[in-house]
A and B are shown apart, each in its own frame.
Chain A
């Protein structure tokens, strides 16, 4: 059965056709090999990066933008959001600093947040 999907790896957004025959995956429409890799992962275990914000204590801004350092399973997105909702970090925060880490989720700060004077 041919599955249609859009690759999300780069702004090209190639429209691909993906078919699994026996144990092999055939991909058409990708302009680069990363598209094929994306298609295979999408069939087996779709993963995503998400971005959100985390409360900051004593910072010059209220929340610090955070991002997932590694993709997480699509089915875990809302669990991750629940963790993010309950987090709080103390200023100062540095860009790319790890603000949360467990077996399934690593969150890093997207930018610096200075401490409020």
Chain B
């Protein structure tokens, strides 16, 4: 059986960063397994600008950011299996894979790095009633069809969800001649960046309706109209506010979920708040020698952070292979008041960065670290925190005296 020091599952920005770092730190046998016919991951279809401001000090398109890493991988002896799907993986780190070139094969890694990214929530996941007709796509699928397969998904489009993917597709479809009639958002604030509201909607006169959702889908073989209604503060549709919009396409931009099916098989501990695995600041999961980085760990906003964390995973996988194990204390991190999620969930190193999301828009608050007894160990004033972005806190903790901490917000 072929043996590797590090097997990376997924060749997007997370997997490539992890593989490159492991290689740089002395691992000789590094393998990236990628299901697509090329490396790059989701960046291959994100043809717009906005990537790499932190990493490269300039804003690149997605494919350019990916190409820079692909070029580096090609300059190493890192092996790459393309068109290859991982079917199974077990606790002994035996990976079963399938590809036209290799057939069905079992290989073994001393360490495994998960970098499979995430998938999109579907119409079924949010249970929109009505006809199950053609013409309903998740925004990412529509982006793939348009930017990779050169296929226009539809001509009269409605978009549900004002996260960045929905906004970017509103612009992209308009540029290609489609009529994007409206974007509906169930919350009272847009889900994506302000600048995307400006350059994707305002620039093209596309209206955004907050506090609205799609309540019915009408069509026969293909969608022909949607019913929308206003929602109340609990996001329930208000009777009597229904309106109808004719369309031949509905795009859904309603959330991303880490692709953790392979992790479940190994019994890796998952976190309900992130939908990804519980990870520590080494990007290691609850099972030794298994690491996770990129969107499979938790859903990211910036590819620059994906790259940083991929490198952390790769570096620590290399340390494990080289038997350079650090000693470690494990401090659990929990999410407290107004914090919907915080990563990593376990800290082993006293110099660490916590990344978190808030559960509602907060103008002014005290960000606090509380210990297990509820004592304030640290506090800092923060302003203008939005749920749409991840925020971070650099910490220097005295880990030997703390068993667990809670990150919490008190509004002022």
A residues with a Cβ closer than 8 A to B are 5-15, 48-53, 55, 60-63, 65-67, 74, 77-78, 81, 95-96, 110-112
Contacts and interface: CB of A to CB of B under 8 A. Distances in A.
Nearest to A63: B150
B195 A7 contact: yes
Contacts of A65: 47, 61-63, 147
Contact size range, B: 35 or more
Contacts of B194: 6, 13-15
Given A67-B47, A78-B175, 14 more contacts: A7-B195, A11-B53, A11-B302, A13-B195, A14-B194, A51-B61, A63-B147, A67-B49, A81-B176, A95-B67, A110-B64, A110-B67, A111-B44, A111-B66
Interface of B: 37-38, 40, 44, 47-50, 53, 59, 61-64, 66-67, 70, 146-150, 175-177, 193-199, 202-203, 302
Contacts of A50: 175
Contact of B64 (A10, A12, A77, A111): A111
A95 B149 contact: no
A98 B371 CA distance: 57
A10 B51 CA distance: 10
10 contacts: A11-B193, A13-B195, A13-B196, A13-B197, A14-B194, A49-B49, A53-B150, A62-B148, A62-B150, A74-B203
Q: What is the interface of chain B mostly: helix, strand, loop, or mixed?
A: helix
Contacts of A7: 195
Nearest to A56: B150
A60 B193 CA distance: 34
Given A60-B38, A63-B148, A81-B175, A52 B47 contact: yes
Contacts of B197: 6, 13
For the complex of A and B, list the 10 residue pairs with the smallest distance between their C-beta atoms, beginning with the closest: A13-B194, A13-B195, A111-B63, A65-B47, A6-B198, A110-B63, A111-B67, A8-B195, A110-B61, A63-B150
